């Protein structure tokens, strides 16, 4: 794997780089060698945050961990990524049949364990009218409903957008491109 390691409000020392590469090397058993892992370290007051993103063929594997200690956060983020890969391995393999980003040993292991994978079950389907509104109105409506996301038609662009609540209490806006 190739690693792109950057820091915000933190100097990425050689010791940190070595720890990250050592821990993320656990994931090399899953991916082919030219897979890229983007790692962002940041410090906000006493919070150490690590975000790891591994994009491959239209899919993004991502985990973010916040801890008081950066080294503990590194350990935890690798465990989360590995759990995600193992949980969704069959679906990921089926989606990436041709030019697979996964190593052949991992694919062979998946084939042997076929049928043991958890199935995603949609329990409820909801339909609702999407009325045009601005982003601020959509965020307010989301808060009034007590949800953490809200789908709406943007009055300015006439496109379907999603406003959502971020972990740090701010809001995010998703504007799909078709």
pLDDT at 59: 74
The CA distance from 85 to 77, in Å, is: 12
pLDDT at 56: 73
Q: Please write down the long-range contacts of 156-164, taking CB distance under 8 Å and 24 or more positions apart.
A: 158/132, 160/130, 161/135, 163/135, 163/138, 163/139
Residues of the chain with CATH 3.30.505.50: 132-174
With respect to CATH, is domain 132-174 assigned 3.30.505.50? yes
The verdict on pTM exceeding 0.75 is no
pLDDT at 34: 81
For residue 116, give the nearest of 85, 90, 82 by alpha carbon: 90
Residue 5 CB contacts under 8 Å (≥ 6 apart), including other chains? 12, 16, 17, 20, 39, 41
DSSP letter (8 states) at residue 174: E
pLDDT at 3: 92
Residues of the chain with CATH 3.30.160.100: 2-112
pLDDT in tens, the chain (178 residues): 889 999 999 999 999 999 999 999 888 887 777 888 999 999 998 899 999 998 876 678 889 999 999 999 999 999 999 888 877 766 665 554 555 556 556 655 555 555 555 567 888 888 888 889 999 999 988 888 778 899 999 999 999 999 999 888 899 999 998 7
The CA distance from 161 to 24, in Å, is: 35
Question: 36 — phi, psi (to 5°)?
Answer: -110, 135
CA dist 56 to 1, 18, 93, 115, Å? Answer: 12, 23, 12, 24
The CA distance from 45 to 51, in Å, is: 17
Query: What confidence tens digit (pLDDT) does each residue in 3-45 have?
Result: 999 999 999 999 999 999 999 988 888 777 788 899 999 999 8
- Decide if 41 contacts 23 (C-beta within 8 A): no
How many residues are present in the chain?
A: 178
CATH architecture of 2-112: 2-Layer Sandwich (3.30)
């Amino acid at each position: 794997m190739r690693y792109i390691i950057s820091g915000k409000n933190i100097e990425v020392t050689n010791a940190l780089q070595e720890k990250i590469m050592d821990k993320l090397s656990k994931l090399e058993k899953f991916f082919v060698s030219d897979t890229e892992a983007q790692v962002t370290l940041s410090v906000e007051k006493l919070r150490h945050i690590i975000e790891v993103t591994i994009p491959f063929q239209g899919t993004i594997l991502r985990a973010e961990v916040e801890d008081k200690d950066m080294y503990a956060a590194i350990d935890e983020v690798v465990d989360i990524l590995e759990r995600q890969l193992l949980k969704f391995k069959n679906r990921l393999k089926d989606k990436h049949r041709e030019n697979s980003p996964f190593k052949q040993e991992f694919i062979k292991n998946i084939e042997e364990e076929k049928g043991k994978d958890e199935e995603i079950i949609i329990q409820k389907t909801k339909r609702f009218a999407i009325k045009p509104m601005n982003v601020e109105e959509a965020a307010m409506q989301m808060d009034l409903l007590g949800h953490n996301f809200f789908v709406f038609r943007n009055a300015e662009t006439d496109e379907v957008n999603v406003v959502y609540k971020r972990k740090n209490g701010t809001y995010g806006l998703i504007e799909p491109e078709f």
